[in-house]
Structure 1
């Protein structure tokens, strides 16, 4: 395969930017409070429910939809409110240079809602670097690691799995990508690498220097 024929599928949070310092704590707190209100439980029980659904289904929302009939649009709107999102987005400005150097088409493939994902990309000045942005609404709430979400993206963009490289901080999501026949890149500091991961990098910025390994 020529370099230009390769297609890159990038996760957003903790792949293209660092959501851990500010954004994830805010979202996790908002989700916990939503569950408290919804189910009438205390903070500790709501936190356990949030974590259990995330571990089992890939997102807290999936569990709430499945077991409690939650309206996904309401949930996403309530849990992704930010008073000052630009201050919360942590990223390296070298990301733009890296993406420009990377041959092939590029898509964002995220379980995040559209309004949030596009806002983050605009804050970073990166939206124009991508050929498309696939978010949980476009996936019809068949979020990663569900194979249905992957297949919807592939079908709509007319892509073959063998063309694609999934770049992601979640090993579970990469397992689905590999099952479909994609190459996989794990962004993580931990040295342990699952068998379905082709390449582990500490930073997405290192990607162009390791293309020969893919």
Structure 2
């Protein structure tokens, strides 16, 4: 496969920007409050439910839909409302230069809702580098690591998984990508290694120099 024929599938949060310091705490708090209010449980139980469904299904929403009939669009609007998102952003502008160096089509593949994904891409300038966005809505609320979500994207974009490279911070999602025949890049600062990652990098900034190993 030529480098120009590659298709890069990029996760968003904690792959292209750092959501851990400010954005994830905001979302986690909003999800906990949503669960408290709509399921009538206390803070401790709401936290347990949020974490349990995230671990079991790849997204808290998937568990809420399956076990409680939660309206996904209402949940996503309520839990991803940011009055001042720009202030919470932790983004390295050199990432834009790194993306410019990568030959091939680039697609966003995120478990986040579309309005949030588009806001992040627009505020950072990342939107200029991606030809398509796949968020939770157009994955039919079948988040990574579910294979169904991957297949929805592949069908819609008419892609051969053998031509795709998945760039992710979540190892579970890379396991699914590898099962489908994709190349995989694990974005992680940890020491752990995995056979499901073709290469491991600490930051997307390293990708132009390392992509020759794929």
Give your verdict on TM over 0.5: yes
Aligned residues: 214
Partner of 1:168: 168
Unpaired runs of at least 5, structure 2: none
Deviations 1:46-71 (A, max 9, x none): 00110000000000000000000000
Q: Which moved more, 1:41-50 or 1:190-199?
A: 190-199
Partner of 1:136: 136
Cα distance in 1 for partners of 2:149, 2:204 equals: 23
Deviations 1:90-122 (A, max 9, x none): 110011111111000000000000000000000
Q: How does the TM-score come out when normalised to structure 1?
A: 0.99
Deviations 1:2-32 (A, max 9, x none): 1000110000000000000110000000000
Partner of 1:158: 158
Q: Secondary structure at the match of 1:159?
A: coil
Partner of 2:194: 194
Partner of 2:117: 117
Q: Report the aligned-residue RMSD.
A: 0.6
Partner of 1:92: 92
Partner of 1:7: 7
Unpaired runs of at least 5, structure 1: none
Partner of 2:207: 207
Structure 1 segments, 4+ long, off by >3 Å, are: none
Q: Secondary structure at the match of 1:185?
A: strand
Cα distance in 2 for partners of 1:211, 1:80 equals: 33
Q: How does the TM-score come out when normalised to structure 2?
A: 0.99
